[in-house]
Each structure stands twice: as C-alpha cells, then as structure tokens.
Amino acid sequence: MTVPTVLRDTLFSKAREFGSAPLLSLPDGSIADLQEGYIPLLVNFSFEDRAAKGLRKLTDQTEPEPAVYFSALEMARDYPALLLAGETGSGKTSFARHLAFRLAGEGL
C-alpha cells in the first residue's frame, strides 16, 4: 500500500468511528450515538433567499409566509465552501463529525 492509500484508509476509519461516538443522554439514561441521535442543523439561508439570489421581494401579503431553511448538510452538498459560526455548544463540531461520518460511507 502506498502512503496516500494508508492515510486515506486511516482517515476513513476515524470518520467511521464518529458514528458510534456518544452524542447525548436520553431521559431514560441511555446514550444516543452520533449515527442515531444527530439532528441536522438549520442555516440562516432559506429557499426564498436562493430563489431571489439574496434579494427579497415585497408583496401585498397581509402576513409573510414563514421561511423554510436549508440544513447545513444541504448547504455542504450544494456549495464548495461553508462557514460555520455559532455560540459554544451550538453543534459545529458535531456537524463536522457527522459530515465526515456520512462522507466515509456510513449512514447515508
């Protein structure tokens, strides 16, 4: 095996391990792992933003329709770069681990 192949296999193995890492405690005392307990993050970018390319149109509606937001996984799929910003504990690291786990071929 060549060095790049060994490195690739090592990285994929580590990414697969993320799926069984403990994520949160459930009310019954059991532990949910990343593969079973991950809840996708929503980003501050909506379907309306995408359709309008960031420009919002004002209409004569009495009430605005609620925005439907993309998940961070959808944004990672659709765009070549993604900036995650959030408070401590908002899920940035869990998202990165879940993304690596999915890209390694598990839990698709």
- What DSSP string describes 14-54? HHHHGGGSEEEE-TTS-EEEHHHH--PPEEEEEHHHHHHTT
pLDDT at 108: 46
pTM of the model: 0.70
pLDDT digits (tens, 9 = 90+) for 74-105: 888 888 998 888 899 888 999 999 989 988 88
Q: Are 38 and 23 in contact (CB under 8 A)?
A: yes
Domain range annotation of the chain? 3-56+65-103
